[in-house]
Each structure stands twice: as C-alpha cells, then as structure tokens.
Amino acid sequence: MVSRPYTRRLLTLVVALVALSAGLFTGAAPAQASWAAATDPSGQIMYGDSCPTLLRCFAVGGAGAIVTTANGGTTWTSMTSNTTQHLYGISCTSTTACYAVGAADTIDVYNGSTWAVSTSNPNPGATLEAISCPSAGTCFASSSNGQIVKLASGLWTASASSTTQTLNAISCAPSTTTCFASGNVGTITTTTNGLTWAASTSNTTKILYGLSCATTTFCVAVGGNGVIDTWNGSTWTVLGTLPTTSQLNSVSCPSTTQCAASANNGSIDEFHGGTWSNTTTGTTLILNGIALSPDGLGGVASGNNGTLQVYRCTLGTSLEIDNLATTLALPSTTLTGANQTVTGSLGLTVDDQSSGYAGWNLQLAATQFTNGSRTLPANAASITSVSQAAAADNCNLPTNAVAAPVTLSTTAAKIYDAAAATGIGGTNLTAGVSLAVPGNAYVGSYASTWTLTAATGP
C-alpha cells in the first residue's frame, strides 16, 4: 500500500463591497435637533399650533387662517377655515380630528377633510383663548372671562372656573380629566374630574400665557418676563434662573423630559430633562404659539407676519451609507464533498438626514461568486437576518417591513427598510450573511461584488 500526503481542499470567499446612496456623504457631522424657518402661505399673524404626529402639524391665526404640513414642516399649505374670526388656539387628537377656537366664541372643527364652524355658542361675547383635547371627543377651552367651555358627548357647554380673570392657556394631561388653565396675575385653576374647578397657587403674579401638562404630575406654565412655573403634582415652583427675560407666550411638553417655550424675541426656551436653556432661531419676530409632536422629534413655532419655525431632529439633506468596509471576507471552508453553509456578518450605518421623513430602504445586488471559469450557484448567497441599533446621531429606530431571508442576485433586492417617520438619523445595521457551498464545488478563491443602495421611501 502506498501512502499519499493529504491535501487540504480549501475554498476561500471574498466579497467586494460598493455603497451607493441617495445623498453624497461629506463626512460632516449632521445638524441635529434645531429650528429652521419655513414658509407660511397665509402671511397672517399666527397664534396657536398643534402637531398630532411627527409629520402632521397645524397652525392657526388671524382672520381665520389655518395652515398645515404633512411632511414634517418641509412645506405648508393653506386650509379653508370657513371663518374670518381670529383663531387663537388649536388642539388635534389625530390627523383627522382637530378643534380650533378664537374670537367671538368661535369653535372650528376639522373632520379630516373640511373645517366647519360649530353652531354652538356656549360662551357668548367671550373670546376662546386656548383649547386642549385630552382624548377624542373631549375638549376643554379657556375664555377671556374665566369660563371653561367643554365638549363632551357631542355637546359644548360653558361653566364657571374659580376665577373671572382671562385664562390664556389650558392643558389637560393626555387621556384624563385632570386639566389646568392659566392666565392673568398668575392665575391657575384646575380640575381633576372635568367638572369642578378650584384655584391652584402659582407662586407668581406674572401673566401666564402658556401651559402644558405631560402628565397629571408634570406641568409647565410660562409667561411675562420669561417666567417658568413647574407643577410636580402638589405645588407650583417658579424657576430661579431664567434662560430669557423675554415674554414667553406658549409652551409644549410632550414628555416629562422635554419642553419648548416660544418667546417674544423669536427665541425658544428648551428643557431636556435637566435644565432650561435658550435657543436663538432664524427670526427675531414674536413667536406666539408652539407645539412639539408626541414623540418630541418635530414641531413648529408660529408668530407674527406668518412666521414659522420648524423643529426637526435632523436638518440635513442627505441619505447615505456610512461605516461600510470595502471588502467582506467570509470564513474559508474545507471542501469535504458534502454540502456546506458558510456564515458571516455585514455591518454598516444608514444615516437619514433628509427632510420630509419619508423613510428609506436598503437594497443589495450581488454578482455570482466566481473563480475564473468556476462559479457557485447563482442563488447561493442570502441575507438571513438584520439587527438594528441606534447610532450616535439617531433620532428614532426604523420600523422594518422586509422579512428575512432574502436571496441575493444581480437584481437589487430590499434587505431592510424604514417606514415613514422612522429610521431618522443614523441606524447601525448588522446583516447575517449565509452562503451555500455545494458538495461538488471546486477548490479555489471565489469573489463576488455586492452593491448596496440607500433609497428614499420604504
């Protein structure tokens, strides 16, 4: 018997990676969480805002003006309000249910397609200054004569509060009947049952123009000389050091760790869970209203001369693929004559800094693995899984609808996506890679080129 030396039958695999994206990666740090000017088509003075979602916001103002955006503030359009009365406040429980209030006891109702002025006149002769709707079909509006106008079971009714002072603002904690209203000479009145109102000691005599409650135990009232008054569930406490002494006209707190208040000098006071700070915007005009979206990632502040300042988590223009290596080396394998599976992983970052929050999709096209004239099967490679994690500049993680596994071919296929208003900022993705090696494969080094593309829209 003649002994022969054993020869290893190795197969090596190398993938060349190419990234294409909808935007050009400049390497510059993204501009995040800031305010930028937008165009108001009405040109009217604006008084009140509401953002039921990240993409959809409304602003109301003089002579019945109402404007709206459906793309996170990138563009705005005028709506027909069917009133010429000044509108001072608006509250939306969804994109298809809004209530606006204003002069001459005006109540304007949006049903998702049109605005209609209510024939109810529950507080004749008074101006309705502000409105808060904690749930669908339930609203509370504050008045110039201290009355509270309530919507319940389809009926509007007026009732006395604990004051006859003008109540400039009102806010109800979401999905509750606990509400606060604030007004002149530091007046604050509150209800815990939606029926009876009682005075609450504000510990300030400043006029309180704005009020927002994230919960029943976290509210912020703002007003004259930049006063900031915070409710903790039992007492109101006036902030000692104020970010600005400019009058604050409105405040919005989507959570207990985030608030924004609009000022007479065009600046905005911001709270991010620790301290308050003042942020300058692109205007020095009076900002009357402000609203942040429920997730706190977007919003709008509106004011004089049709001023609109849009809050965006990202202010860039690009959709790009970052942190992608130029090659991916899959583990070498020893051929045994049996079918085998080689696995690995591919890491990259999709960074969506574009406007409009349209979402994105990640596509991959792969050439067939070749070794000279030898090839592996055209359908040998697949993406078996994709996991996600927030990058440093992430605003929110993607909502993905692409199911794994995805078999790769020369035709680009989606391997992951982000629904509209998700995947904003940077998202780190790790894709599981699988390659089927048949038992009759020839020894050698096989190569393939994979082209990844980030495109707008899921």
- pLDDT at position 21: 56
Residue 4: partners with Cβ closer than 8 Å, 6 or more residues away: none
C-alpha dihedral (410, 415, 419, 423), degrees to nearest 10: -110
- pLDDT at position 18: 73
Tell me the C-alpha distance between 133 and 316, whole Å.
Answer: 34
- The alpha carbon of 55 is separated from its chain's Cα centroid by a whole number of angstroms, namely 7
Which option is the CATH number for 32-314: 3.40.50.720, 2.130.10.10, 1.10.287.3240, 1.10.10.410?
Answer: 2.130.10.10
Instruction: Quick: pLDDT tens for 181-194.
Output: 999 999 999 999 99
- pLDDT at position 392: 86
Q: What single-letter DSSP state applies at residue 187?
A: -
Residue with tokens 């038992």: 439
Of 103, 128, 98, nearest in space to 114 by CA: 98
State residue 184 phi and psi, 5-degree precision: -65, 155
pLDDT band at 7 (very low <50, low <70, confident <90, very high): very low
pLDDT at 27 over 60: no
Q: Which residue has the higher pLDDT, 225 or 10?
A: 225
pLDDT at 31 over 50: no
Q: What is the mean pLDDT of the chain?
A: 92
Bridge-based pairing state of the strands 10-21 and 444-456: parallel
- pLDDT at position 208: 98
pLDDT band at 315 (very low <50, low <70, confident <90, very high): low
pLDDT at 272 over 50: yes
Adjacent-strand bridge partners of 446: 13
Instruction: Quick: pLDDT tens for 374-429.
Output: 999 999 999 999 999 999 888 899 999 999 999 999 999 999 999 999 999 999 99
Q: Which two tokens stand for residue 101?
A: 């209030």
Mean pLDDT for 294-308 is 95
Tell me the C-alpha distance between 458 and 399, whole Å.
Answer: 9
Locate the domains of the chain by residue range: 10-28+317-456, 32-314
Q: What single-letter DSSP state applies at residue 73?
A: T
- The alpha carbon of 26 is separated from its chain's Cα centroid by a whole number of angstroms, namely 25
Instruction: Quick: pLDDT tens for 93-108.
Output: 999 999 999 999 999 9
pLDDT band at 121 (very low <50, low <70, confident <90, very high): confident
Instruction: Quick: pLDDT tens for 335-364.
Output: 888 999 999 999 999 999 887 889 999 999
**Amino acid letter at 181?**
A
